[in-house]
Amino acid sequence: MVTKSEEDQLNRLEAQVDNAGGGAWEYLCLVRKLKVRRPDKVLKHGLAILNDSKKRSALGTEEWTLCEQVAVAAMDCQSLDVAKDCIKVLRKRFPDSKRVGKLEGMLLEAKGLWAEAEKAYSSFLEDNPFDQVIHKRRVALAKAQGNITTAIECLNKYLDTFMADHDAWRELAEIYISLQMYKQAAFCYEELILSQPTNPLHHLAYADVLYTIGGLENLQAAKKYYASTINLTGGKNRRALFGVCLCTSAIGQLSKGRNKEDKDSPELQLLAVAALEKDYKQRAPGKLPLLTSALKSLRVSS
Amino acid sequence: MDKFRDCGDIKKDLRYLYTVQFWVFLVSRNANRGERKSRERERGAMAEDLVLDTAIRDWVLIPLSVVMVLIGVLRYFVSKLMRSAQIPDAKLVKEGQVIVRARNLRAAANFIPPKSFRARRLYYSNEENGLLYVPKGQAPNAQAQMFSDPNMAMDMMKKNLSMIIPQTLTFAWVNFFFSGFVAAKIPFPLTQRFRAMLQNGIDLSTVDVSYVSSRSWYFLNLFGLRGLFSIILGEENATDDTQRMMQMTGFGFDPTKPGC
């Protein structure tokens, strides 16, 4: 997860580099470290460095990492010729490298030659059945072809062996959500929460899924997870605040007519509403009346 | 080779110094039997107050430490080169990952709904096909497994050799070149039992046990440079001998028996 300070630094470097202020190499290193996706900028500035032979020789051995980064960015922007050139250079330098092989597979994918790419990946997996990167590329291949079920199958098989890989769980959760298989998505989010309990995004996503599934128990759990998200983010997450209000009103609607003994106190909702109103007053005072009317309709009529 | 000639000079000087001190001690004892109590205190102070030449520090302590650091770095690189590309065993990889996942479950159990927790716990400890379930008595003894698997045995042998040989060589080198004189003074007092261990080259039995030979400096460095190596070479380095030595003694670990 990218922290706020890193995000600020990234934006600052980006602005600096865009205005031709130098610092392109630091920007590219930061992009690589944070694993953010900025293909157009990486391509533009990376290519500028690579084409300038003086700057290129100044990099030394880092030149090849830059080459790889530019190749991936080029494939992202569909400049396949640039990508092909970069890969050719890399292949000449590292003739027996699996990393270059993976790039070549990605190029085949980018060109749309699914069968060849599949063949290439399977041959890599025969050599080393525990190459995590190639497994994930196979899943991406299936997903790009639109074969979601194959993707799910491959991903499940991968997770059977490598069950501690939280990125894979996240991907699986997103795929399940896109297919509206919410129960399975909830399971995946639970795994994510187990591996990173202090990450508020997982709590938020889990709460969303629980709210979507519905049912009184799930709504109560969802409210708890929205509350924990608010706790973890220090009250700054507007989505969680809204979530709390929605959950409370939904619970109230569902339990209308039942005995009110085990009803939760309405304090949480009132607090959330107050926080939201304060936030809107600060940032978007024009939308405040919209907010108040929307929230009023959510008030549980007890 | 100049520094070793200087060491020979130091040896001569120190032996001279000891002998002088020793005779002074004897003479003063014989001469002043009457006032033994106060004299003994004085004599004690004189006899124990050995002046160590700074050349010892320059030519013995520092070179020894530097040589040990360099040997450690060399071993690290050699071990990196010699490490054969291991094809990980399918079962081991899966087991490792299962353990991580189970550990996460245990650590963060409070963060998921109780029903999910129970479901997962059953998944791991189910009697029929639980992933972590080990029936009593069937747990493979780690030591037996280690010796029966030829690849692992070879690896262990290689690692042990890479540890033993440099240690032996360095120890022999230290003994040959740096023996027979006092190398350092330990700042706290010790009992007489340590004399045999710490003062092997020094043949005078009256020298205070705090004055140690260079062999003890070697051992001090052996155990103490571990921290330095973990800073220089990163966390995983082959020079972590003490850990491996502890590992060798800690076998017989049976996970099904309680209290392990």
Task: Look at the block and give the residue holding tokens 């010729």.
Answer: A81
CA distance B111 to chain A (A): 7
User: For the purposes of burial, counting CB atoms within 10 Å of the CB of B75, is it exposed (0-12), middle (13-18) or buried (19 or more)?
Assistant: buried
A193 CB neighbours in chain B (<8 A) are 108, 111-112
CB-nearest partner of A194 from B87, B97, B112: B112
Verify whether the Cβ–Cβ distance B90 to A129 is below 8 Å.
yes
Element at B212 (helix H, strand E)? strand B211-212
Which residues does chain A have within 8 Å of residue B118's beta carbon, measured at their own beta carbons? none
Asked if the Cβ–Cβ distance from B112 to A164 is below 8 Å, we say no
Q: Which residues does chain B have within 8 Å of residue A221's beta carbon, measured at their own beta carbons?
A: 113
User: Mean per-residue pLDDT for A136-160?
Assistant: 91
Per-residue pLDDT tens over the stretch B136-145: 666 666 666 6
Report pLDDT for A301.
41
Among A266-280, B31-45, B78-92, the range with the most confident prediction by mean pLDDT is: A266-280
pLDDT digits (tens, 9 = 90+) for B22-64: 776 665 565 455 445 444 444 444 455 777 777 877 788 888 8
Mutation target for B interface from A167, A190, A228: give the one with most B CBs within 10 A: A190
Per CB-CB distance under 8 Å, the chain A contacts of B101 are 163-164, 191, 194-195
pLDDT of the residue at A262:
54
- Rounded to the nearest angstrom, the minimum Cα separation between B250 and chain A is 28
Distance from CA of A214 to the nearest CA of B (A): 15
Q: Quick one: closest CA in A to B94, which residue?
A: A161
Closest C-alpha to A131, from A93, A170, A105, A92: A105
Is residue A290 pLDDT above 80, yes or no? yes
Whether pLDDT at A168 is above 90: yes
What pLDDT score does B242 carry?
56
Is the torsion defined by CA of A192, A196, A198, A199 positive or negative? negative
* Residue of chain B whose Cα is closest to the Cα of A161: B94
User: Average pLDDT, stretch B148-168?
Assistant: 76
Q: Nearest CB to A162: which of B97, B107, B112?
A: B97
Task: Give the H or E element holding residue B211.
Answer: strand B211-212
What is the percentage of chain A residues whose pLDDT exceeds 90? 41
Q: Is the pLDDT of residue A302 over 50?
A: no
Strands B184-185 and B211-212: antiparallel
- Indicate whether A110 pLDDT > 80: yes
Nearest chain A alpha carbon to B101: A164
Which of B94, B97, B108 minimises the CB distance to A197? Answer: B108
Q: Do A195 and B108 touch (CB under 8 A)?
A: yes
Across the interface, whether the CB atoms of A190 and B101 are under 8 A apart is answered no
> Which of helix, strand or coil describes residue A162?
coil
Burial class (CB in 10 A: 0-12, 13-18, 19+), A265: exposed
With b meaning 16 or more CB within 10 Å and e meaning fewer, what string describes A9-25?
bbeebbeebeeeeeebb
Supply the pLDDT for residue B1: 42
Identify which has the larger pLDDT, B152 or B116. Answer: B116
Strand partners, A245: none
Q: Residue A301: phi, psi to the nearest 5? A: -85, 105
Please indicate, yes or no, whether the overall pTM of this predicted structure exceeds 0.90. no
Pick B128 or B7 by higher pLDDT. Answer: B128
Chain A residue numbers with beta carbons less than 8 Å from the beta carbon of B98 are 163
Residue of B nearest to A217 (CA): B113
Compute the distance between CA of residue A271 and CA of residue A11 in angstroms, rounded to an integer: 34
Q: What is the pLDDT of residues A10-59, one digit of tens each?
A: 888 888 888 877 788 888 888 888 888 888 888 888 888 888 888 888 88
CA distance B220 to A280: 65
Q: Do A128 and B113 touch (CB under 8 A)?
A: no
Our CA-based measurement puts residue B101 at a distance from the nearest CA of chain A, in whole angstroms, of 5
In the prediction, which pLDDT does B58 show?
Answer: 79
Per-residue pLDDT band at B4 (split at 50, 70, 90): very low
Residues from chain A contacting residue B109 (CB–CB below 8 Å): 194
Q: Which of A128, A164, A221 sits opposite B101 (nearest CB)?
A: A164
Chain B residue with Cα closest to A162? B97
Residue B243 pLDDT exceeds 60: no
- Tokens of residue A231, six digits: 């706790």
Region A135-147: mean pLDDT is: 91
Q: What is the pLDDT of residue A236?
A: 84
Considering only alpha carbons, which residue of chain A is nearest residue B109?
A194
User: Hey, are the CB atoms on B111 and A221 less than 8 Å from each other?
Assistant: no
Residues A117-137 have a mean pLDDT of 89
Chain centroid, CA B178 distance in Å: 20
Q: What integer pLDDT is reported at residue B219 of this predicted model? A: 86
pLDDT digit string, tens, across residues A219-249: 999 999 999 999 999 888 889 999 999 998 8
Chain B: give the shortest CA distance to residue A161, in Å: 5
Percent of chain A with pLDDT over 70: 95
Distance of residue B14 Cα from the nearest chain A Cα, in angstroms:
54
C-alpha–C-alpha distance, residues A173 and B77, integer Å = 43
Query: How high is the pLDDT of residue B27?
Result: 58
> Is B100 close to A164, i.e. CB distance below 8 A?
yes
Q: Are A221 and B90 in contact (CB < 8 Å)?
A: no
Average pLDDT across chain A, whole number: 87
* Residues B166-183, mean pLDDT to the nearest whole number: 84
Q: What is the pLDDT of residue B256?
A: 46
Q: What tens digit of pLDDT does each residue of B190-214 get?
A: 888 877 777 777 777 777 778 888 8
Structure tokens at A115: 């069968």
- Average model confidence (pLDDT) across chain B: 73
Q: Do B104 and A187 touch (CB under 8 A)?
A: no
Nearest Cβ partner for B101 among A163, A187, A197? A163
**What's the mean pLDDT in A100-117?**
91
Burial of A117 (0-12, 13-18, 19+ CB in 10 A): buried
